[in-house]
Amino acid sequence: MRKVAFLTGVLVLGLVAGCGGKAKTDTTMKQKTLYERLGGEPAISAVVDDFLANVLADNRINAFFANADAKNLRAKLIEQICAATGGPCTYTGKDMVTVHTGMKITDADFDALVEDLAKSLDKFQVPATEKGELLGALGGLRPEIVGK
């Protein structure tokens, strides 16, 4: 189960740390949350489905998910991304250090996961700003994940 948590924790808690999940306001109007700009739960679900297919086909990292409950993994990812990007969901998962301790994740493993997500974001033509926010947030989590 710790292997399942690798993907869910990396993706979503990174978003929480990097994006905050809160809408910004200015003097003229409220800006949309990242959740809204991504297209809400239907769009997040589509990206997650494609992302999971990429990860499971990726021989560099798919061993981390060999015993994963795919249905649960999918549901947790959607829940976590929704919550982390300002959507109406609540994420109840563990912190990054706890999840990744003992997994011996390398920089190459981390980079492979990010590449798989970028591939999915490109497939769904996620705009550069939103893609940058998601991937930037993940990059900030590297110290909490790699080498634990």
Which tens digits make up the pLDDT trace of 96-127?
Answer: 788 788 889 999 999 999 999 999 999 999 99
- Which residues, 6+ apart, have CB-to-CB distance to 20 below 8 Å? 86
Domain assignment of residue 108, given as a range: 2-21+38-145
Share of the chain above pLDDT 90, in %: 46
Report the residue count for the chain: 148
How far apart are alpha carbons 74 and 96 in whole angstroms? 18
pTM above 0.85, yes or no: no
- Token readout for 121 is 């974001």
Name the residue among 62, 96, 65, 68 with its Cα closest to residue 80. 96
107 occurs within a structural domain: yes
Residue 69 lies in a domain: yes
Read off φ and ψ for residue 30, nearest 5 degrees: -80, 130
Spatial neighbors of 43 by CB under 8 A, at least 6 apart, are 124
pLDDT beyond 70 at 148? yes
The per-residue pLDDT of the chain, averaged, comes to 81
The residue type of 135 is: L
Indicate whether 91 belongs to any domain.
Answer: yes
The answer to whether residue 29 is domain-embedded is no
Instruction: Specify the CATH number for the domain of residue 54.
Output: 1.10.490.10
Q: What is the pLDDT of residue 126?
A: 96
Residue 56 has pLDDT above 90, yes or no: yes
Q: Is residue 102 part of a domain?
A: yes
Instruction: State residue 91's pLDDT score.
Output: 81
Asked if residue 134 belongs to a domain, the reply is yes
Lowest mean pLDDT among 2-6, 62-66, 142-146: 2-6
User: Would 54 be classed as within a structural domain?
Assistant: yes
Number of domains in the chain: 1
Residue 129, token pair as written in the block:
């700003």
Query: For residue 32, is it within any domain?
Result: no
Distance CA 142, CA 41 (A): 26
